[in-house]
């Protein structure tokens, strides 16, 4: 009980302090958009249904010994999805560069990517013909650069572009 009262007292002090310090309008303006953006971000995190085409990208080790995504560049339309297929040379995955996707894309991607092993990083596919699909419905237009975590240093990188 004493602890609770102390918490309430602290809370009251914090609130009092806040209202006392927010004399500058810029502080209020800075705080307001952040609070307003939170629910929108949560909504965007829910995977949106695919309304367009499902494109296929193969992940493979070529006869020349190159680890590649094929095609290495792909243009899709809003509402489309991409399925990456584990053809050979696994494990492979799909991981996006946080600084090489359009503004606002990371939140959408993190919501749309199943079984992530970390931020913007899909699971490793081991089994032959295993598939990893991402819906880009609701994702902002622009170019998305991505890589395979095990083979990035071997040049397994690619990009996809969502047209306007
Ligand atoms: Cu790979």
In this structure, what CATH number is given to the domain that contains residue 88?
2.60.40.420
Domain co-membership, 16 together with 64: no
Ligand 1 centroid to Cα of residue 93, in Å, is 6
Residues 24 and 89 in one domain: no
Q: What is the pLDDT of residue 124?
A: 98
How far away, in angstroms, is 151 Cα from ligand 1 center? 5
Whether 39 and 61 share a structural domain: no
Domain count, the chain: 2
Task: Indicate whether 25 and 63 sit together in one domain.
Answer: no
Q: What are the residue ranges in the chain where pLDDT is below 70?
A: 1-46
In angstroms, what is the span from residue 6 Cα to ligand 1's centroid?
55
Q: What is the pLDDT of residue 146?
A: 98
Say yes or no: 92 and 152 in one domain: yes
Q: Are residue 26 and residue 61 in the same domain, yes or no?
A: no
Same domain, 62 and 27: no
pLDDT tens string 32-58? 444 444 444 444 456 778 999 999 999
CA of residue 147 to ligand 1 center, whole Å? 8
Q: Are residues 60 and 99 in the same domain?
A: yes
Query: Do both 39 and 92 map to the same domain?
Result: no
Domain residues for the domain of 77 are 54-162
For 14, the enclosing helix (H) or strand (E) is helix 2-21
Q: 131: CA distance to ligand 1 center in Å?
A: 13
pLDDT at 49: 87
pTM comes to 0.72
Give the distance (Å) from ligand 1 centre to CA of residue 66.
10
Note whether 78 and 158 are same-domain residues.
yes
> Is 84 found in the same domain as 16?
no
Tell me the angle at which helices 105-112 and 25-45 cross, rounded to the nearest 10 degrees: 30
The string of DSSP letters for 15-73 reads HHHHHHHTTSHHHHHHHHHHHHHHHHHHHHHSPPPP-S-EEEEEEEE-TTS-EEEESSE
How far apart are alpha carbons 129 and 59 in whole angstroms? Answer: 10
Q: 61 and 90 share a domain?
A: yes
Query: Cα of 156 to ligand 1 centre, how many Å?
Result: 6
Residues with CB under 5 A from ligand 1 (ion): 67, 92, 148, 151, 156
């Amino acid at each position: 009980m004493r602890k609770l009262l102390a918490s309430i007292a602290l809370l009251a002090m914090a609130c009092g302090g806040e209202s006392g310090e927010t004399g500058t309008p810029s502080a209020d303006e800075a705080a307001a958009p952040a609070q307003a953006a939170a629910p929108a971000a949560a909504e965007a995190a829910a995977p949106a249904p695919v309304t367009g085409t499902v494109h296929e990208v193969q992940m493979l080790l070529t006869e020349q010994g190159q680890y590649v995504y094929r095609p290495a560049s792909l243009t899709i339309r809003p509402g489309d999805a991409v399925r990456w297929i584990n053809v050979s040379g696994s494990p492979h995955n799909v991981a996006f560069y946080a600084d090489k996707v359009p503004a606002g894309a990371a939140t959408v991607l993190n919501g749309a990517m199943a079984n992530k092993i970390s931020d913007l990083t899909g699971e490793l596919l081991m089994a032959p013909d295993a598939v990893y699909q991402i819906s880009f419905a609701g994702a902002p237009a622009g170019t998305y650069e991505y890589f395979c975590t095990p083979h990035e240093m071997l040049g397994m990188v690619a990009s996809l572009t969502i047209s306007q």
